[in-house]
Amino acid sequence: MSKRIMVVDDSRLVRVQLEDTLKGTDYVVAAYCRSGEDAIEQYAVVKPDLVTMDIIMQGMDGLDAAEVILKNHPDARIVMISSLAYEDTFERAKAIGARGFIDKPFHQEQLINVFEQALQ
Amino acid sequence: MNTAMTREALEQILDQALQDVTERTAGVCLRQDDQPPGEDLCTVHITFDRGFNTSLTLCADKNLLARMARNSFHEEAVSLEDLEEFSKEYLNVLCGKVTGAMYRATQIPAHFGQPTFYHGRYEPEGQEVQFILTYSDEHSEGAQLIHHVPCSQEDGTVLDET
C-alpha cells in the first residue's frame, strides 16, 4: 500500500518537483500545506505516514511547526527539506525529533532513502 | 564573500550551482558564453548578510525564464505572476546551494533575504559589480549572474562590511 506524504512548503516549484520525483514510487502526496500553521491544523485530519517540512516559510518556520506537531503527535515522522543546511539547523532538527534532512534541489534516490529510514 | 574566499573560488561555486540547479529544476542546459542577454529582460536580486555583505543578481532574457518556468511548472503557458514566482524560487534554490558550498569552503554561515523581481535591468544601490558570469542556451537565449560587493571608498576600504 502507498505511503501517504503531507508536503509542507510554500514553494510551488518544490511541490511540483516532489510530485515528479515520487511518480512511480510507493509514496503518494496526500496533502499540501503552504505554512507551518496550516500543517499543524491539517496533521490530525490528514494523518499522513510522513511529513516533508520546508524550514524557511512565511510566518511560523518549519522547525517550530515540526516541534509543535511532534509535541501533539509524538509518533509523527517528519523529514526536513531545505536549501539552508548548516550544522546548527541539523542539530535543532535532530533535537526536536525530525527523522531526516534533505537538501534542495533533491534527487529521487536521496529522497527515497531518507523516507525509508524515517519510516523504519 | 568579500575576503573570505577568492573571486575564482566563488566564480566556480556560482557556475557549478547555476548549471546544476538550472538543469535539475528547469531542464535547461546553460553554458558560459560571451553573448549577453537581449533587451527584453527580467532581473531577480537577492542580498546576503551575516558574514557575507554582498548580493547576487540574475538578469535573464524573459523568454528564457518563461521557458524555464513552463518546464518547471509543467504548464503550456505562464503568466507574468508565474514568471515572477518561478524566478524568485529558482534564485532561492540557487542561493541555498551557493551558501552551502560557501559554508563548506569557509565555515562561515551566510544567510540570504527574500528575492525581489524586476522587469528590465536592476542595479543595486551602494554596490558595484565584482564579476559577471554570462550564459546562453541552445536557443541562444541568455542570462547573467552578477556578483555585487559594497562600493569601495577612495582609500580602498569597503563600506558596510560586517
Q: Which of B31-40, B50-59, B117-126 has the lowest mean pLDDT?
A: B50-59
Using an 8 Å Cβ cutoff, are B84 and B10 in contact? Answer: no
Q: What is the pLDDT averaged over residues B148-156?
A: 69
Q: Quick check: B63 pLDDT over 90?
A: yes
> Cβ neighbours of residue B15 under 8 Å, at least 6 residues apart?
B32, B133
| A13-26 pLDDT per residue, tens | 888 989 989 999 99
How high is the pLDDT of residue B110?
A: 82
Nearest residue to B62 via CA among B147, B141, B144: B141
Closest Cβ–Cβ partner in B74, B95, B103 for A86? B103
Closest-CA distance, B104 to chain A, in angstroms, reads 9
Closest Cβ–Cβ partner in B73, B109, B111 for A12? B73
Contact between chains at A86 and B73 (C-beta distance less than 8 A): no
| A84-117 pLDDT per residue, tens | 667 778 889 999 999 999 988 788 899 999 999 9
What average pLDDT does chain B have? 88
Q: Quick check: B161 pLDDT over 50?
A: no
Q: Quick check: B151 pLDDT over 50?
A: yes
- ipTM of predicted complex: 0.76
| Cell representation of residue B48 | 546576503
Say whether residue A44 is in contact with chain B using an 8 A CB cutoff.
no
Q: Quick check: A70 pLDDT over 80?
A: yes
In whole angstroms, give the CA distance from residue A4 to residue B127: 48
Closest-CA distance, B124 to chain A, in angstroms, reads 24
How high is the pLDDT of residue B1?
A: 52
Contact between chains at A84 and B25 (C-beta distance less than 8 A): no
Q: Which of A88-92, B34-38, B39-43, B81-85 has the lowest mean pLDDT?
A: A88-92
Dihedral through CA B14, CA B20, CA B25, CA B26, nearest 10?
90
Instruction: Using an 8 Å CB-CB cutoff, list chain A residues near B97.
Output: 83, 103-105
